[in-house]
Amino acid sequence: MNRLAINLNGVDFKNPVIAASGTYGFGREYNEFYPISRLGGISCKGMTIREKLGNPPPRIAETPDGILNSVGLQNPGVEHFIEHDLPWLKQQDIVVIANIAGSTEEDYAAIAEKVNASDVDMVELNISCPNVKAGGAAFGTSPDCAANITRIVREKCPNKPLMVKLSPNVTSISEIAKAVEAAGADSVSLINTLLGMRIDIRTRRPILKNNKGGMSGPAVFPIAVRMVNEVYNAVKIPVIGLGGIATWQDAIEMVLAGASAIQVGTAMFTDPYAPLHIIEGMDEYLEENNIDNIAELVGGVKLW
């Protein structure tokens, strides 16, 4: 039996390691290093109903053990994805998750209808992107707004398992998680990036042209573990954990905190093979500890 195989919201994954949205494009580039089918799933670059050009550069700054980004959801629009990228992705033996975003309720409804009618395996609803001025973050920061958008998307997208991606830039992430659960989410993924800023002391200007950006990478890992554990204890639906995972040890820790699956993002920039090393290391850990399936470890942390 495959120790790493999981079923998430009715979808079979060969392993619980998913490429995080925005760091892996639509998979084609990393497929030039290794077959991306070795991963369990791919959450595609966040998409909007129409093409978005994104923010002016520089869009990235380094931080101690992490980065800030301000891409601003540059994407070719959902129809372009469905026409040009999805057919290719569907041939790669990997679970395809469409990550969707919008700046108005109408946008969310429209994109939800499009992905509902497409071949994607799951939908990840981004109500938490901090890089888009109107909307995005605002939708994710109050339980009512988060629930409202989830309900709209749930209604327009009844055929796909719906994962809602949560923002850490909130007072109580478990309140938001409970709200989206009640509004029909099948699972929640967290965390999106934490808002941050860096200043070049020579020019006295922010390094990012957008001034602020979303922080990710190993530096945010302890925050992500804490939030995943809180949410795991607050909801009944599966939790997908991400934020700073770079090694298999991090991945196991995240599973113990309560994650049924994990996503890897920024670590890919340091090492494109990071997800493969994580999969291998998790499998060895399970074997050494005589654990038949990763599901047995989920939420296994014994709190003091």
Partner 1 sequence: MKYTQELCPIIQKDTLNRTTFSFVVKSEKAVQTMQPGQFANLRVAGKTLRRPISVCGFNREEGWIRFVFEIRGEGTAILARMNEGDTLDILAPLGNGFAIDPTEKAVFVGGGIGVPPLLGASAPYGENATVLLGFRNMRAIILSDEFEANGADVRIATDDGSYGHHGFVTQLLAQRLDEAPCDVIYACGPTPMLKLVAAEAEQRGIRCMVSLEERMGCGVGACLVCACKTKREDGSETYRHVCKNGPVFDSREVVWE
Ligand X SMILES: Cc1cc2nc3c(=O)[nH]c(=O)nc-3n(C[C@H](O)[C@H](O)[C@H](O)COP(=O)(O)O)c2cc1C
Contact residues for ligand X (CB under 6 A)? 20-23, 45-46, 69, 71, 73, 99, 126, 129, 165, 192-193, 216-217, 220, 242-245, 264-267
Q: Which amino acid is at 34?
A: Y
| 3-class state of residue 67 by DSSP | strand
Minimum distance from residue 267 beta carbon to ligand X (Å) = 6
Minimum distance from residue 69 beta carbon to partner 1 (Å) = 6
Q: What is the dihedral of CA 252, 257, 259, 265, to 10 degrees?
A: -60
According to the binding rule CB under 8 A, does residue 78 interact with partner 1? no
For residues 207 and 6, give the distance between their C-alpha atoms in angstroms, rounded to a whole number.
41
30 binds, among ligand X, partner 1, none (CB under 5 to 8 A by kind): partner 1
For residues 279 and 118, give the distance between their C-alpha atoms in angstroms, rounded to a whole number.
29
Report yes or no: 140 and 166 within 8 Å, Cβ to Cβ: yes
Residues 6+ apart with CB under 8 A from 301: 229, 256, 257, 258
Nearest residue to 282 (alpha-carbon basis) of 7, 17, 13, 8: 17
Q: Which is nearer to partner 1, 9 or 63 (CB)?
A: 63
279 binds, among partner 1, ligand X, none (CB under 5 to 8 A by kind): none
Of residues 15-74, which lie at the interface with partner 1 (CB under 8 A)?
22-25, 29-30, 32-34, 45, 53-63, 65-67, 69, 71, 74
145 as an active site residue: the answer is no
Question: Rule CB under 8 A: which residues touch partner 1?
Answer: 22-25, 29-30, 32-34, 45, 53-63, 65-67, 69, 71, 74, 217-218, 266, 268-273
Q: Which residues are catalytic?
A: 129
